[in-house]
Structure 1
Amino acid sequence: MAADIIQLILALLFLGFLLYLIGGLLLKPLKLAFKIAVNSLFGLLLLWVFNFIGGYFSFTIPLNWLTILIAGFLGIPGLLLLIFFRLVL
């Protein structure tokens, strides 16, 4: 009788451990996707503000997925990089 209870407890602990591992594996890509989405929104906002101000000087950066990701991941240095590319190219 006691052996059955011990086996049941061990099985439940093992099942809990497996659920913990599988949950961690499934949540990692979701966390990455959420981080990319937040950074992209930040990049879009950064470019929008720059284009709003730059519109008065006839200097804008096109809004596309590449410029948004560069500005989102690199922040202000990414925006400066995009400005540099726009001036040089």
Structure 2
Amino acid sequence: MDTGMEVIIFLAYAAGLLIIFLLAKFFAFSGKFIFKIIINSICGGIILIFINVIGAGFGVHLPVNVITGFGIGTLGIPGIVLLYLISA
């Protein structure tokens, strides 16, 4: 085999390993990010239910669905205030 061909094969293997490494890092980051958003959305839904139970005596009702849970899970307390202002 030619020395030039060996260098090309080595560079191809190195590029392949680099691509695999970068893809693994990307999916590991996005997996953690998506998991965090799902957990925060579930917590947001629980907070919405809690607000509706306590707020029933005060006439406060916020809809409980995926969008509102996601908004509160992502934004936190400002999300609750924003949702209340939008629904009022």
The answer (yes or no) to whether the contact 2:45–2:65 under 8 Å persists in 1 is: no
Aligned position for 1:72: 73
Whole-angstrom CA distance in 2 between matches of 1:34 and 1:45: 17
TM-score normalised by structure 2 residue count? 0.69
TM-score normalised by structure 1 residue count? 0.68
CA-CA distance at 1:29 after TM superposition: 2.2
Identity level (%)? 32
CA-CA distance at 1:19 after TM superposition: 4.8
Q: For 1:3-14, what aligned pairs fall within 5 Å after superposition?
A: 14=14
Give 3-state SS (helix, strand or coil) of 1:63's partner. Answer: coil
After superposition, what is the alpha-carbon deviation per residue over 1:52-78, rounded to whole angstroms, capped at 9, x for unaligned?
101122321110111111111111111
After superposition, what is the alpha-carbon deviation per residue over 1:22-81, rounded to whole angstroms, capped at 9, x for unaligned?
321221221121011111012112211111101122321110111111111111111011
Provide the alpha-carbon RMSD of the alignment. Answer: 2.4
Aligned position for 2:28: 27
Closer, same or farther in 2 for the Cα pair 1:18/1:48, shift >3 Å? same
Aligned position for 1:39: 40
Aligned position for 2:63: 62
Q: What count of residue pairs does the alignment treat as equivalent?
A: 78
The answer (yes or no) to whether the contact 2:48–2:64 under 8 Å persists in 1 is: yes
Identify unmatched segments of 5+ residues in structure 1. Answer: 1-9
Runs of 4+ in 1 over 6 A off after TM superposition: none
